[in-house]
Amino acid sequence: MSSPAAGYRGYADLADHQVEGADYKIHVRANTQSSVAVIAPHGGGIERYTSEIASAIAGEDFNLYMFEGIRLSENYAALHLTSHRFDEPRCLELLTGCDHVVAIHGCGGEAQQALVGGLDAGLKAVVAQSIAALGIETLLADHPFLAVDPMNICNRGRRGVGVQIEMTMPLRRQGPRDALCAAIRSVLLALPKHSCWGASD
């Protein structure tokens, strides 16, 4: 039996069935000095620890968006709006002013792994390299979360490209989280404010 969220065509459908403030909350922190956004579209109880990781990566330097499940149970089933249908208006508005988008997600798996996708080929490669340098198994290809759909929320920034990082639960919960967040932050802090890594377009 499929979860209710599997049938949602977009945020409007989700909002028809779930109540903001009771089932979910949305956190937006805009930083007009930054063209980078770090987002957790499945935060809170939907994909656990993704909110904390996104917040740590963003710090005070980057734009931050989190859609967080706050139900007592069944957060994933009720609130997991798949990434290529994630069109929550406050998120889209934030991303219109951002050249670089990094989306943090959680996935299944028993090993500590990071599966990196998205259409920003240059930034994706540098982010993956920074994670792998910590000794974390990191895949850029041959995994099911390539995030190449232009409608994937990670690819809906100003340049139409972005990065998606799927992290297994052992990595989110027990992995070197501080070092992981610091490594990704370092890559983003080194970005030119109005350009991109490599020829990704």
Residue pair 64/51 in contact by the 8 Å Cβ criterion: no
Q: Which domain holds residue 149?
A: 9-189
pTM: 0.94
Q: Residue 57 and residue 181: Cα distance in Å, rounded?
A: 5
At 151, the pLDDT band (50, 70, 90 cuts) reads: very high
**130 lies in some domain:** yes
In a domain, 199, yes or no: no
The candidate with the shortest Cα–Cα distance to 23, out of 84, 67, 86, is: 67
Mean pLDDT for 179-184 is 97
Q: Is residue 77 part of a domain?
A: yes
Total structural domains within the chain: 1
Q: Which pLDDT band holds residue 199 (cuts at 50, 70, 90)?
A: very low
pLDDT of 3 above 90: no
Does residue 123 form part of some domain? yes
Taking only the tens place, the pLDDT of each residue in 186-195 is 999 999 865 4
Q: Residue 64: which CATH number?
A: 3.40.630.100
Residue 195 maps to a domain: no
User: Is 197 a domain residue?
Assistant: no
Q: Is residue 198 part of a domain?
A: no
In a domain, 84, yes or no: yes
What are the tens digits of pLDDT across the range 114-147? 999 999 999 999 999 999 999 999 999 999 999 9
Q: For 25-66, what is each residue's pLDDT tens digit?
A: 999 999 999 999 999 999 999 999 999 999 999 999 999 999
